Amino acid sequence: MRQNKEKLSNQAVQSYKIKSQLIRKLRTRFATYGYEQVHTPAFEDYDTYASIQKTVNKDEMIKVIDRSGKVLVLRPDGTIPITRLTALDREINGSEQRLFYIFNVYGEQNSNGTNKESTQAGVELFGNKRPEADAEVIALAVHTLKEIGFDNFKLEVGHAGFFKELVDQANLAENELQQLQELIQSKNLAEMEPFLKQLQIRDELQEALYAIPLLYGNPQAVLEETKAIIKNERMQEVLNNLKDVIEVLTDYDLLEHLTLNLGLINNMHYYTGVIFQGFVENIGKPVLMGGRYDQLAEQFGKAMPAIGFAYKVDVVLEALKQHQLIKDDNNPPLQIYYVPEERRNAFSAAKLLREQGYAVITKPFAKNAQQAGILFQSNGRVIVNGNEQQVETNEELLNLAELATGGV
């Protein structure tokens, strides 16, 4: 029983360490693009989300009531509270803001209603609506995927405005729109054709909607194919915007990782422009999702364009395990042993090594015990893994630590 508990404890420690390493990589990479970390409270006012239509599913939020009777929710997402935080900051008047977050979000997402906690790591770029901003955020998403260690991945890039314009012309009922979205997302062309024929819409509009799931693949080729279904000036503007973004991404030399997908229509009421999601090979769900949401800040009283994305950290960890990209660098701490008269010297050595990044544990010397590490003995000399050495300088001590551990 004790061995099982120790095994479970070691697994928990190792899992947390791996997750911490991943988060550290994300935090470092976000910062190199000029983003600064922010945090929001775990508990948010329910009204913050209830007043914003068609974003977070209200039924999936975990609600609590405080002593005053006010309804609170455990934070269900990162973008909304950070947008509110930025919009309500009076010192920000249209200036560009680069923020990132790494924290847990909560929701009752399982079929049995079990509370679910997950970690999100995301960036939000406010105050810039140029194609260069869209491309840079997408480039950051690609850069972090490479940094994490993935080679075989794709970012699917679409645009919320294109499909919106078509369905606005079609004037569909809510249930018809929902069914159409499901058919497009599943690329179910067999059922889509008879579904469109029974709608009371023009033939050319039917053909355009039917073409949406087929507009998928090489960005340049899809842009060319899309010209055939342009129906008005607004759709042409959307196509031009996509062209501009792809042109910038070409200069980032990222097209090998990109697929243009005009059938990408997730959360269409939320996004207003470019949208994208990242997939890793053999992982059936996206590891990140993002897009442009220029109208969200207006819900908090300020017009402020914005684009961002969020990693699902726990899904990324699953992908790392499946792709065997988790390195076993669980090196044990360096052990420093000492006899009583050398305790001060041992503590001084431990302090120096910790300042150099070593994990160090100090212990009194016990005879007849198997002790790997550095032993400070009474004659002023030290023993490193069984071999006696002379230590007179800090440099010599660091060399011995390198010998004892193989490096930090």
293, pLDDT greater than 80: yes
Please give the Cα distance from 21 to 327 (Å, whole number): 10
Check whether 120 is labelled as a binding-site residue.
Answer: yes
pLDDT (0 to 100) of residue 135 = 97
What are the residues whose beta carbons fall under 8 Å from the beta carbon of 104, sequence distance 6 or more? 42, 75, 117, 118, 119, 120
Q: What are phi and psi of 308, to 5 degrees?
A: -170, 180
**What domains are defined for the chain?**
18-171+213-322 (3.30.930.10), 334-405 (no CATH)
Place of tokens 């012309």: 169
Give yes or no for residue 380 having a pLDDT over 50: yes
Q: What is the pLDDT of residue 54?
A: 64
Digit-coded pLDDT (tens) for 16-33: 888 999 999 999 999 999
| Residue listed under structure tokens 């006899």 | 339
Q: Count Cβ atoms within 10 A of the Cβ of residue 25 and give its class: 0-12 exposed, 13-18 middle, 19 or more buried.
A: middle
Whether 407 shows a pLDDT value over 70: the answer reads no
In the sheet that 43-45 helps form, which strands lie side by side, from edge to edge?
Answer: 43-45, 71-74, 63-65
The closest of 285, 7, 252 to 141, measured between CA atoms, is 252
Tell me: pLDDT of 350 over 50.
yes
Does 402 show up as a binding residue in the annotation? no
pLDDT tens-digit profile of 115-161? 589 999 999 999 999 999 999 999 999 999 999 999 999 999 999 88
- What pLDDT is recorded for position 330? 61
Task: Give Dmax (Cα) for the chain.
Answer: 96
Share of the chain above pLDDT 90, in %: 49
- Secondary element (H or E) of residue 30: helix 2-32
- Tokens representing residue 261 in the block: 């997908």
Judge whether 271 is annotated as a binding position.
Answer: yes
Task: Answer with the residue of higher pLDDT: 173 or 110.
Answer: 173
Determine contact, residues 129/96, Cβ cutoff 8 Å.
no
Distant-in-sequence, close-in-space partners of 323: CB < 8 Å, separation ≥ 6? 149, 150, 280, 281, 282
- How high is the pLDDT of residue 408? 43
C-alpha span between 74 and 117 (Å, rounded): 10
pLDDT interval class at 290 (50, 70, 90): very high
Q: Would you state the pLDDT for residue 124? A: 97
pLDDT category at 377 given cuts 50, 70, 90 is: confident
What value does the mean pLDDT take over residues 69-85? 92
355 in a labelled binding site = no
Average pLDDT score, the chain: 87
The share of the chain scoring above pLDDT 70, in percent, equals 92
Report whether 396 belongs to an annotated binding site: no
Give the model's pLDDT for residue 147: 92
Lowest average pLDDT, out of 50-54, 108-112, 358-362, goes to 108-112
